[in-house]
Amino acid sequence: MQTPAPNQAREPDAPPLCAIFRRHLKREGLKFTPERAKVLDATLKTVGVFEADRLYLDLRGQGHRVSKATLYRTLKHLCDAGIITEVVLGPNQAHYELSFGQQPKGYLVCVHTHRIVEFNTADLTDLRDRICAEHGFTPVSHRLVIHGLSPEARKAAANDRGSKPSAKPVRPPSS
């Protein structure tokens, strides 16, 4: 149950995140429970950025019973353990992403469709460290979010000739 062959291996020789999680829990005097294992599992099957509710539905869809309270509590522990990262894309809902051993990423978000494209920000780390140094800060993490119009959205908008030319987002704006 703890480490079933992941549906889609992230890396051929990925580190055993389950073990890492257990170690973190032990260090903190916390317990490794079936519920936490299930949440970790669901998280590992994840691709890209996801919301808490998405994970909740995934779990239920697989017949697993985990309460939302436990889910949120576990997501926090997974953050603390460095396995996932909270990705703040909008003000209304938290997003998360597997991040163990990964470089910080940037996010390109379509203002119309909300599709998210990730990109590398390796060359940003120097800039980040310089800025932190200038202000006496010790860097912890950084996040670059770009909002733009995706090619599909532009195409769709072009087909909409006849409606108002002023572009209206597909869903209410949430940054």
The position carrying tokens 């990925």 is 14
Query: Within positions 71 to 130, which residues make up the interface with a second copy, using CB under 8 A?
Result: 76, 79, 86, 88-95, 106, 108, 110-111, 117, 119, 123-124, 127-128
Q: How far apart are the first and last CA of the chain?
A: 39
CA-based diameter of the chain, in Å? 63
Residues 147/112, Cβ–Cβ less than 8 Å:
no
Q: What is the DSSP letter of 1?
A: -
14's contact among DNA, a second copy, none, with CB below 5 to 8 A by partner kind, is none
Footprint (CB under 7 A) of DNA, residues 62-121: 65-70, 72-74, 76, 91-94
CA distance 86 to 54: 14
Q: Is the dihedral of CA 126, 128, 134, 138 positive or negative?
A: negative
**Comparison of 71 and 110: residue with beta carbon closer to DNA:** 71
DSSP 163: B
Residue 26 touching a second copy (CB under 8 A): no
2, two tokens: 């703890």
Q: Which does 141 bind (CB under 5 to 8 A by kind): a second copy, DNA, none?
A: a second copy
Tokens 């599992």 belong to which residue? 41
In this structure, are strands 105-110 and 95-98 parallel, antiparallel, or unpaired?
Answer: unpaired
CB of 155 to a second copy, least distance (A): 10
Among 10, 24, 45, 51, contact with DNA (rule: CB under 7 A)? 51
Note whether 23 binds DNA by CB under 7 A: no
List interacting residues with a second copy (CB under 8 A).
Answer: 76, 79, 86, 88-95, 106, 108, 110-111, 117, 119, 123-124, 127-128, 131-132, 134-151, 154, 173, 175
Residues that bind DNA (CB under 7 A): 22, 25, 29-36, 51-53, 65-70, 72-74, 76, 91-94, 172
